Amino acid sequence: MRTERLPATIRVLVVASFLVALGYGIVAPALPVFASSFDVGVAAASAVVSAFAVFRLAFAPVSGRLVGRIGERRVFCGGLLVVAVSSGACAFAASYGQLLVFRALGGIGSTMFTVAAASLLVRLSPAHLRGRVTGTWATAFLLGSVAGPVQPVSHAPTACVPTRSKATEPSWDTPPAVRGQPFPHGSIRMMGRRRSSPDFREISAEPGGRG
């Protein structure tokens, strides 16, 4: 028996989920090393990673209210944009405090993306495919999370972290955040191309589903 194909918009969400997770995986392994270049201790360097998770947790309820107020698509694309911009800004942070703030903003953007994507999946999935759709989306995100850290660009010795010395200003050679940044941007472009699809027009017409 032939398996029914997932709707096109669902496939876009699945690919976007994979690309975003891949970007996270590429950036995350280098962040503690990057933070330690500001002459901070191990705990402070690890806090850069923790800040992302803490602000994901704190902003989750707000993201849900935003979805109800302005619509899934706007929150989804807005979250991806916040992640992309904050990731790029991390590469040019001039102090440890700036790096911490940029990572916290990335956590906010990440939870916006996740909450809006979950709402979109429920709204766009046919009832008989809902379990399969959710499993496929989660699998794509987890595969991206696994694949990111093992990519050559995530641990290349000459491009992993900025070089810094006490006597000179920092200089960068393809910082890790810049290498992970194209993935959220690609996801935003894909969502924009689906903007005129019947699925998204249906969302826009429904109460609480303004896109």
How far apart (Å, rounded) are the C-alpha atoms in residues 114 and 105? Answer: 14
Spatial contact of 167 and 10, defined as CB atoms under 8 Å apart? no
Nearest-CA neighbor of 28 among 205, 165, 146, 172? 146
- How far is residue 57 from each of residues 63, 115, 165, 192, measured CA to CA in Å? 10, 11, 35, 27
- pLDDT over 60 at 199, yes or no: no
**What one-character DSSP code corresponds to residue 164?**
E
> Is 0.75 surpassed by the pTM of this model?
no
- Which of 36-45, 87-96, 156-165 is least confident? 156-165
Rounded percentage of the chain residues whose pLDDT exceeds 70? 70
Nearest-CA neighbor of 60 among 24, 114, 103? 114
For residue range 131-188, what is the model confidence (pLDDT) as tens digits? 999 999 999 999 988 887 776 554 444 344 444 444 444 444 444 444 444 445 444 4
Q: For the chain, how long is the longest CA-to-CA vector? A: 69
pLDDT of residue 49: 87
Place of tokens 């499993």: 135
Place of tokens 């800004």: 89
